[in-house]
Amino acid sequence: MTAELEQFAEVAPGLRSSLPEAERAAGYDRLALGYDLLVGNPLYNRLVWGCPKSAYRGAAGGLLADVPAGELIDFGCGSLVFTAASYRGCEDRLVLFDRSLGMLRRGRERLPRGRFLQGDAFAAPFDDGTFAGAMGWGMLHVFGTGSGYLAALHRLVRHGAPVAIGTLVLTDRAIGNRMLAMLHARGEAAAPEGRDSVERAFATLFAIQHARLAGNMLFLQGRKRG
Ligand SMILES: C[S@@+](CC[C@H](N)C(=O)[O-])C[C@H]1O[C@@H](n2cnc3c(N)ncnc32)[C@H](O)[C@@H]1O
């Protein structure tokens, strides 16, 4: 089974949308430039979240290596500010999925041969088990473990397929914890959760293979159960 992106409307070369025209605007469209300048800044990441860009490269590279064949999805790929380098050379077997065309357009500049699709993670236009692997960086803390985001990832991949996430959690780092609380207060993140609660939620759907905390960013990789 492969993701047939050609069925969706082409918005720009290499960029398609699964949403009706009237629903294509997204909150992140106006944040895209600021996201890249601030969140994509290595210094900001080190100081505020204690997470170097190399941690994303390690996690994304680990998942790609674990899925040597078959199609993968980045489920909320954003502007690829952390991941474009890891994805170069894998464009043919990678679907880059996000709700915001503004973020996707920036992603396309970083990875011109990428296959980008706009859509809603909670109504993703793919059959069950379409993908041989899936990943979502910086997504779960936006929605929370009770949101159905992990269940959506679980639905998209085949039995036993690897799935990896990176998500901000509460740790002993006061600055990161305060920032996470502030993002929640501004409606930009779900209620902050600790590592244990995130790992428990992940482990109900995926058998955990690797877990690594880089500052406030928890990276998990597991295989689909059930
Ligand atoms: C914190 S950013 C993470 C982006 C990217 N993965 C990264 O690590 O830089 C959250 C992303 O979620 C996307 N998003 C928000 N709601 C979504 C939804 N319902 N479906 C798919 N993507 C969504 C936003 O457009 C944004 O790109």
Indicate the angle between helix axes 195-205 and 149-156, nearest 10 degrees.
30
Residues with Cβ within 8 Å of residue 31, at least 6 apart in sequence = 102
Please give the distance, rounded to the nearest whole angstrom, from the Cα atom of residue 98 to the centre of ligand 1: 6
114 Cα distance to chain centroid:
15
Tell me, what's the pLDDT at 45? 93
Q: With 90 as the cut, is the pLDDT of residue 2 above it?
A: no
Query: 160 lies in which domain range?
Result: 43-120+128-224
Q: Are 135 and 80 contacting, i.e. CB atoms less than 8 angstroms apart?
A: no
Please give the distance, rounded to the nearest whole angstrom, from the Cα atom of residue 76 to the centre of ligand 1: 4
Instruction: Read off the pLDDT of each residue in 177-181 and give the average, rounded to a whole number.
Output: 98
Q: Does some domain include residue 28?
A: no
Please give the distance, rounded to the nearest whole angstrom, from the Cα atom of residue 27 to the centre of ligand 1: 10
Percent of the chain topping pLDDT 90: 95
In terms of DSSP bridges, do strands 9-12 and 15-17 run parallel, antiparallel, or are they unpaired? antiparallel
Q: Does some domain include residue 61?
A: yes
Torsion-angle region of residue 52: left (phi > 0), alpha (psi -120 to 50) or beta? Answer: beta
Q: Does some domain include residue 78?
A: yes
Tell me, what's the pLDDT at 3? 82
Q: Looking at the whole model, is its pTM more than 0.75?
A: yes
Q: Determine the 3-state secondary structure of 3 from DSSP.
A: coil
**Ligand 1 atom nearest 32 alpha carbon:** 27
- Print burial letters for 46-60: b (CB count within 10 Å at least 16), e (below 16): eebbbbebebbebbb
**Structure-block tokens of residue 105:** 């357009």
Q: How many domains does the chain have?
A: 1
Q: Are 138 and 43 contacting, i.e. CB atoms less than 8 angstroms apart?
A: no
Protein residue whose Cα sits closest to atom 26 of ligand 1: 78
Write the DSSP string, 63-92. HHHH--SS-EEEET-TT-TTTHHHHTT-GG
pLDDT in tens, 132-149: 999 999 999 999 999 999
Instruction: Read off the pLDDT of each residue in 52-77 and give the average, rounded to a whole number.
Output: 96
Tell me, what's the pLDDT at 22? 97
Percent of the chain topping pLDDT 70: 100
Q: Does some domain include residue 38?
A: no
**Ligand 1 atom nearest 121 alpha carbon:** 20
Q: With 90 as the cut, is the pLDDT of residue 108 above it?
A: yes
Q: Does some domain include residue 27?
A: no
Please give the distance, rounded to the nearest whole angstrom, from the Cα atom of residue 83 to the centre of ligand 1: 13
Q: With 80 as the cut, is the pLDDT of residue 6 above it?
A: yes
Q: With 80 as the cut, is the pLDDT of residue 60 above it?
A: yes
Ligand 1, CB cutoff 6 Å, lining residues? 26, 28, 76-78, 81-82, 98-100, 103, 120-122, 137-139, 142
DSSP character at residue 170: B
Q: Does some domain include residue 59?
A: yes
Residue 208: give its domain's CATH number: 3.40.50.150
Mean pLDDT, all residues of the chain:
96
Q: With 70 as the cut, is the pLDDT of residue 10 above it?
A: yes
Overall size of the chain counted in residues: 226
Q: Are 138 and 166 contacting, i.e. CB atoms less than 8 angstroms apart?
A: yes
H or E segment and range at residue 218: strand 217-224
Tell me, what's the pLDDT at 1? 64
pLDDT in tens, 210-221: 999 999 999 999
